[in-house]
Protein backbone atom coordinates (compact mmCIF):
# COMPACT_ATOMS: atom_id res chain seq x y z
CA UNK A 1 0.00 0.00 0.00
CA UNK A 2 2.90 2.37 0.64
CA UNK A 3 4.02 1.71 -2.93
CA UNK A 4 0.59 2.85 -4.10
CA UNK A 5 0.96 6.13 -2.25
CA UNK A 6 4.41 6.69 -3.71
CA UNK A 7 3.22 5.77 -7.21
CA UNK A 8 0.35 8.24 -7.21
CA UNK A 9 1.40 11.84 -7.58
CA UNK A 10 -0.61 14.35 -5.63
CA UNK A 11 -3.91 14.36 -7.49
CA UNK A 12 -5.90 17.48 -8.19
CA UNK A 13 -9.27 18.06 -6.55
CA UNK A 14 -11.01 17.15 -9.80
CA UNK A 15 -9.13 13.85 -9.97
CA UNK A 16 -9.93 12.83 -6.38
CA UNK A 17 -13.59 13.66 -6.95
CA UNK A 18 -13.90 11.25 -9.87
CA UNK A 19 -15.30 7.73 -9.63
CA UNK A 20 -12.77 6.31 -12.10
CA UNK A 21 -9.88 7.75 -10.07
CA UNK A 22 -11.32 6.17 -6.91
CA UNK A 23 -11.41 2.75 -8.62
CA UNK A 24 -7.86 3.25 -9.87
CA UNK A 25 -6.72 4.14 -6.35
CA UNK A 26 -8.20 0.88 -5.03
CA UNK A 27 -6.43 -1.03 -7.81
CA UNK A 28 -3.10 0.64 -7.07
CA UNK A 29 -3.47 -0.12 -3.39
CA UNK A 30 -4.53 -3.75 -3.72
CA UNK A 31 -3.79 -4.91 -7.28
CA UNK A 32 -0.92 -7.08 -6.06
CA UNK A 33 -3.23 -8.74 -3.52
CA UNK A 34 -6.59 -9.28 -5.22
CA UNK A 35 -7.30 -9.89 -8.90
CA UNK A 36 -10.57 -7.97 -8.57
CA UNK A 37 -8.96 -4.85 -7.05
CA UNK A 38 -10.50 -1.68 -8.44
CA UNK A 39 -13.71 -3.50 -9.41
CA UNK A 40 -16.94 -2.73 -7.59
CA UNK A 41 -18.50 -5.61 -5.68
CA UNK A 42 -21.15 -7.80 -7.27
CA UNK A 43 -22.78 -9.13 -4.11
CA UNK A 44 -24.17 -7.75 -0.89
CA UNK A 45 -22.15 -7.51 2.33
CA UNK A 46 -23.11 -7.03 5.96
CA UNK A 47 -22.06 -3.38 5.60
CA UNK A 48 -22.90 -1.12 2.69
CA UNK A 49 -25.68 -0.44 0.27
CA UNK A 50 -27.21 -2.92 -2.17
CA UNK A 51 -24.48 -3.87 -4.63
CA UNK A 52 -26.64 -2.90 -7.63
CA UNK A 53 -26.61 0.72 -6.42
CA UNK A 54 -22.85 1.08 -5.89
CA UNK A 55 -21.91 2.64 -9.24
CA UNK A 56 -24.60 5.31 -9.05
CA UNK A 57 -23.93 5.96 -5.35
CA UNK A 58 -20.22 6.61 -5.93
CA UNK A 59 -21.04 8.96 -8.82
CA UNK A 60 -23.54 10.78 -6.59
CA UNK A 61 -20.94 10.97 -3.82
CA UNK A 62 -18.35 12.69 -6.00
CA UNK A 63 -20.97 15.10 -7.36
CA UNK A 64 -22.23 15.89 -3.86
CA UNK A 65 -18.68 16.36 -2.60
CA UNK A 66 -18.02 18.91 -5.33
CA UNK A 67 -20.92 20.94 -3.91
CA UNK A 68 -19.80 20.50 -0.27
CA UNK A 69 -16.34 21.82 -1.03
CA UNK A 70 -17.73 25.29 -1.61
CA UNK A 71 -20.25 25.21 1.22
CA UNK A 72 -18.60 23.34 4.10
CA UNK A 73 -15.54 23.93 6.21
CA UNK A 74 -12.92 21.84 4.40
CA UNK A 75 -12.38 19.33 7.22
CA UNK A 76 -16.14 18.76 7.32
CA UNK A 77 -16.13 18.01 3.59
CA UNK A 78 -13.34 15.47 4.09
CA UNK A 79 -15.22 13.79 6.95
CA UNK A 80 -18.47 13.64 4.96
CA UNK A 81 -16.64 12.23 1.93
CA UNK A 82 -14.97 9.51 3.99
CA UNK A 83 -18.17 8.58 5.82
CA UNK A 84 -20.22 8.27 2.64
CA UNK A 85 -17.54 6.29 0.82
CA UNK A 86 -17.28 3.76 3.65
CA UNK A 87 -21.08 3.62 4.01
CA UNK A 88 -21.38 2.76 0.30
CA UNK A 89 -18.72 0.04 0.74
CA UNK A 90 -18.07 -0.20 -3.00
CA UNK A 91 -15.48 -3.01 -2.98
CA UNK A 92 -15.52 -6.56 -1.63
CA UNK A 93 -12.64 -5.74 0.72
CA UNK A 94 -10.24 -2.91 1.58
CA UNK A 95 -12.97 -0.27 1.87
CA UNK A 96 -11.76 1.30 5.12
CA UNK A 97 -8.14 1.60 3.99
CA UNK A 98 -9.26 2.86 0.59
CA UNK A 99 -11.62 5.47 2.06
CA UNK A 100 -8.95 6.72 4.48
CA UNK A 101 -6.42 7.02 1.64
CA UNK A 102 -8.98 8.81 -0.56
CA UNK A 103 -9.79 11.20 2.30
CA UNK A 104 -6.08 11.85 2.78
CA UNK A 105 -5.72 12.67 -0.92
CA UNK A 106 -8.80 14.92 -0.72
CA UNK A 107 -7.27 16.72 2.27
CA UNK A 108 -4.06 17.23 0.32
CA UNK A 109 -5.96 18.57 -2.70
CA UNK A 110 -7.82 20.99 -0.39
CA UNK A 111 -4.53 21.95 1.28
CA UNK A 112 -5.73 21.01 4.78
CA UNK A 113 -4.19 18.62 7.29
CA UNK A 114 -5.48 15.07 6.83
CA UNK A 115 -7.39 13.34 9.62
CA UNK A 116 -5.24 11.52 12.17
CA UNK A 117 -7.59 8.52 12.11
CA UNK A 118 -7.43 8.31 15.89
CA UNK A 119 -3.67 7.97 16.08
CA UNK A 120 -3.36 10.98 18.39
CA UNK A 121 -6.19 10.07 20.75
CA UNK A 122 -6.74 6.32 20.73
CA UNK A 123 -4.96 4.38 23.42
CA UNK A 124 -7.09 1.22 23.13
CA UNK A 125 -6.22 -0.05 19.66
CA UNK A 126 -7.50 -3.56 20.42
CA UNK A 127 -11.11 -2.37 20.26
CA UNK A 128 -10.65 0.32 17.62
CA UNK A 129 -11.76 -1.78 14.61
CA UNK A 130 -14.79 -3.13 16.49
CA UNK A 131 -15.85 0.39 17.47
CA UNK A 132 -15.20 1.64 13.92
CA UNK A 133 -17.41 -1.05 12.36
CA UNK A 134 -20.12 -0.53 14.98
CA UNK A 135 -20.18 3.19 14.21
CA UNK A 136 -20.63 2.44 10.51
CA UNK A 137 -23.64 0.24 11.19
Give the number of other CB atoms < 10 A from CB of residue 36: 16
Task: Give the pLDDT score at 125.
Answer: 64
Q: What is the pTM of this model?
A: 0.82
Nearest-CA neighbor of 118 among 93, 135, 94, 95?
135
Q: How far is CA 111 from CA 3, 8, 106, 123, in A?
A: 22, 17, 8, 28
Four-way CATH pick for 2-136: 1.10.287.130, 3.30.300.30, 1.10.3290.10, 1.10.10.10: 1.10.3290.10
Q: Which of the four pLDDT bands, split at 50, 70 and 90, describes residue 132?
A: low
CA 88 from chain centre, in angstroms, equals: 10
Q: Which residues contact 37 (CB under 8 A, 6 or more apart)?
A: 26, 27, 29, 30, 31, 91, 94
pLDDT at site 17: 95
pLDDT tens, residue by residue, 78-100: 999 999 999 999 999 999 999 99
Percent of the chain with pLDDT over 70: 82
Q: Could you tell me what percent of the chain has a pLDDT over 90?
A: 68
Task: Locate the domains of the chain by residue range.
Answer: 2-136
- How far apart are the C-alpha atoms of 52 and 29, rounded to whole Å? 24
Amino acid sequence: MLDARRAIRSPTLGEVLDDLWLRQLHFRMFGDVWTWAGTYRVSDRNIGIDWTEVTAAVRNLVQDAQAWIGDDEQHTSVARFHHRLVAIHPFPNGNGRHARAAADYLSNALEVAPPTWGALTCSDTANLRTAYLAALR
